[in-house]
Amino acid sequence: MSEIPLRAAVITVSDRVHRGVYEDKSGPAAQASLKELGFEIVATVVVPDEAPAITDALLTWSSKAELVVTTGGTGCAPRDLTPEATMPVLERLVPGIAEKMRIAGSTFEPRSWLSRGVSGLRGRCLIVNLPGSPKGVIESLDAVGMVLIHAIRLANGDTAH
């Protein structure tokens, strides 16, 4: 089987970043971690904490990349809507990825258990909700990086183990 491309899109979900009153730090952290894993970053997008905007970005980029990650909007605040916007886009859940990120994060930050992030597949694209803090993004991708690559290969028909 030919090598499966590793293209990733990073979607930052933040009202403040979208309005330009806050610098995006989580998106660049995700980009750097994904590049270290061998991904080509094909898009970086900032959307407000609004379900339709999040869903639209996921639908757009899931057809153009093998991995789409979101940063932010996974907590318990009223405007944390990323999981709710992601669920209708997913065709198959891959809950172990989000579970592993919560477990890994909890060793550094007990509040990681409050993350409601989800992960799953839309077609051959893996979609993962990451935390909103740069530290949380890095720790999460460190915990699941190689699993993401394996999941993408499996989703794209590579059955070698």
The pTM score is 0.96
17 within some domain:
yes
Q: What is the tens place of the pLDDT at every residue in 87-138?
A: 999 999 999 999 999 999 999 888 999 999 999 999 999 999 999 999 999 9
63 within some domain:
yes
CATH number at residue 83: 3.40.980.10
Look at the chain and report how many structural domains it folds into: 1
108 within some domain:
yes
49 within some domain:
yes
1 within some domain:
no
12 within some domain:
yes
161 within some domain:
no
Q: What is the tens place of the pLDDT at every residue in 11-69?
A: 999 999 999 999 999 999 999 999 999 999 999 999 999 999 999 999 999 999 999 99
Whole domain around residue 117: which residue ranges? 7-155
44 within some domain:
yes
Q: Which residues contact 95 (CB under 8 A, 6 or more apart)?
A: 118, 119, 120
